[in-house]
C-alpha cells in the first residue's frame, strides 16, 4: 500500500495495491495495523454509503462539532468524485487551506479526513457510490456546514456554481468567517 502525505498535517491518502486477473481484482482497502501506523489509533463506529445519481452533485462542506467530531475514511466504489477537505483547526498554521483529491473506482484511493476538517465532494460522473467509515455517530445537534463556494477558501470546483446540484441546506450554508472558531 502506498501512502501520500500533504503539506497540511493530518490527512493521509492510501493507495491500496490491487491483484488482478481476467476475473477482476482483489485489494485490501483497510488494514488496521497500517492505518494505525500512519494515523494513530481510531475507533470507527459507523459506516456510511451515499449514492449520487448525477454528475455535478456537490455534498458539503460538512463537519460535526465536539464532542461528536468525526474523522472519516472515505473512498469511491463506483464512478468518480473530487473530494475536498478544509483545515478548520484554529491553532493550525494551515487554517483555511484545503486539499482536493480525485477518488475513483479505478484508482481505488482511500482518503483519511481527520477531525477538525470540513469535508465535501463533487461527483465527476453519473452514478457515484461514496463510502466512508466515521469515528463518531451522526449527531444532528452537532452538525455543521460551510458554504461550498466561500471565496475565502478558494476551492476550484469542477463545474460552475449554476451547474451544481446541491441540497437546500448546503446552498444556504454560512461562510467560514461567520462560524467563529470551531476546533482548537
Cell 489509533, located at residue: 41
Alpha-carbon distance 17 to 86, whole Å?
27
What pLDDT shows up at residue 64?
Answer: 97
Of 72, 75, 84, nearest to 135 (Cα)? 72
Alpha-carbon distance 79 to 182, whole Å?
33
**Has residue 17 got a pLDDT over 90?**
yes
How much is the pTM? Answer: 0.95
Cell 452538525, located at residue: 143
Strand ranges, E, within 29-104: 46-52, 58-64, 72-78, 80-87, 98-104
Q: Which domains, from first to last, does the chain contain?
A: 44-178 (2.60.120.10)
**Has residue 180 got a pLDDT over 90?**
no
CA dihedral 110, 98, 157, 58 (to 10 degrees): 60
Q: Which of 30, 62, 109, 127 is catalytic?
A: 62
Active site residue 95: no
CA angle 87/170/81 to nearest 5° reads: 65
Active site residue 98: no
**67-103 pLDDT, tens per residue?**
999 999 999 999 999 999 999 999 999 999 999 999 9
Q: Which of 25, 132, 137, 142 is catalytic?
A: 132
Amino acid at each position: 500500500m502506498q501512502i501520500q502525505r500533504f503539506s497540511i498535517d493530518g490527512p493521509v491518502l492510501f493507495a491500496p495495491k490491487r491483484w488482478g486477473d481476467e476475473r477482476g481484482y482483489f485489494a485490501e482497502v483497510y488494514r488496521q495495523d497500517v492505518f494505525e501506523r500512519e494515523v494513530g489509533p481510531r475507533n470507527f463506529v459507523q459506516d456510511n454509503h451515499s449514492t449520487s445519481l448525477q454528475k455535478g452533485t456537490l455534498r458539503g462542506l460538512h463537519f460535526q462539532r465536539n464532542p461528536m467530531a468525526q474523522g472519516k475514511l472515505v473512498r469511491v466504489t463506483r464512478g468518480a468524485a473530487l473530494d475536498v477537505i478544509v483545515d478548520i483547526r484554529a491553532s493550525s498554521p494551515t487554517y483555511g487551506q484545503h486539499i482536493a483529491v480525485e477518488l475513483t473506482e479505478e484508482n481505488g484511493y482511500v482518503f483519511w479526513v481527520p477531525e477538525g476538517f470540513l469535508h465535501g465532494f463533487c461527483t465527476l460522473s453519473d452514478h457515484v457510490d461514496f463510502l466512508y467509515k466515521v469515528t463518531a455517530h451522526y449527531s444532528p445537534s452537532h452538525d455543521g456546514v460551510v458554504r461550498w463556494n466561500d471565496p475565502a477558501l478558494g476551492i476550484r470546483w469542477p463545474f460552475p456554481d449554476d451547474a451544481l446540484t446541491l441540497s437546500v441546506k448546503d446552498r444556504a450554508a454560512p461562510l467560514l468567517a461567520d462560524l467563529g472558531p470551531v476546533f482548537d
